[in-house]
Structure 1
Amino acid sequence: MTRAMTGGCQCGRIRYRAEVEPDKAYLCHCRMCQRATGGVSIAFVNAPQSAVRWETEPDWYASSPIAHRPFCSQCGTPLGFAFLDGDNIDLTVGSFDDPAPFRPSQNYATESMLTAWTDVRHLPGMTSAENAGVMDRWKAAGLEPPE
């Protein structure tokens, strides 16, 4: 079932509204996405390009001869992926204002999956609030830490 959701980049210059199916998100593990994001994978949700309304047009990076990627040139936030000849676009789950409803339905490009990073539940964890150095820096800047 589709749902209207909003999102944008970290600095707020690029904003969008999209009709997406949160239960059909997926993780891409391909080397192109790893390099484009600096992460071990990227969470995407696919939508028709006609279901996405950009309030401010993003910048586009021609990441290969067959695809390009929307991003914000001001803050660097990666916003998605689209084939040049395609009707759909993948939007980054992390760029949505509320990514909590998204659920992964599959892995893609598993040949590049870094399996050591697929299940990290056994590792010790820490909340941002428990990191005194980070909290002190936000307070010194006269700000509250972001959520």
Structure 2
Amino acid sequence: MNYCPQCGNVLVVGVAGGRERLLCSAACGYVYWNNPLPVVGAIVEYENDTVVLIQNRGWPADWFGLVTGFLEAGEQPDQAVLREIKEETGLDAEIVERLGLYTFYQRNEIIVVYHVRARGEIQLDEEELQAYKLVPIKELKPWPFGTGPAVRDYLELRLHRLKD
């Protein structure tokens, strides 16, 4: 962001709230807080002990990830994750548990990740997604950013529960 959305003057680096932020160079008082966006994500367990991974349009051929989406105004995270699963995969899902909150610094997002179980026939939203794959849970591997730490936590929790 380069210009103040209130008065159109140039934004400059200054201090607000104890941190460096972009501030309006005029006296209108605008501060660009750049707060993270709320996102929901799901580890979607499917038939035969598999997890559904999706590939967004434009991603490289070897990139797959969790079903994710933005929280909409007036929507609870639990509702949002079930809506996103239905919209993107056509599956009906039920929440098993909320795994946690994960910071995705590269995209300035806070992701609320759930473990869900889903049923039905997969029907991709072809406007958003270009592919999906079913990964056996025993072959699922976490990645180092975004929703990858949630996959790591899910696998550790699952392993711990299998031992009990």
Q: TM-score range by the shorter chain?
A: under 0.3
What TM-score do the two structures reach when normalised by structure 2?
Answer: 0.24
Which structure would you say has the larger Rg?
A: 2
Structure that is richer in strand per residue: 2
Structure possessing the higher relative contact order (Cα contacts under 8 Å, 6 or more residues apart)? 1
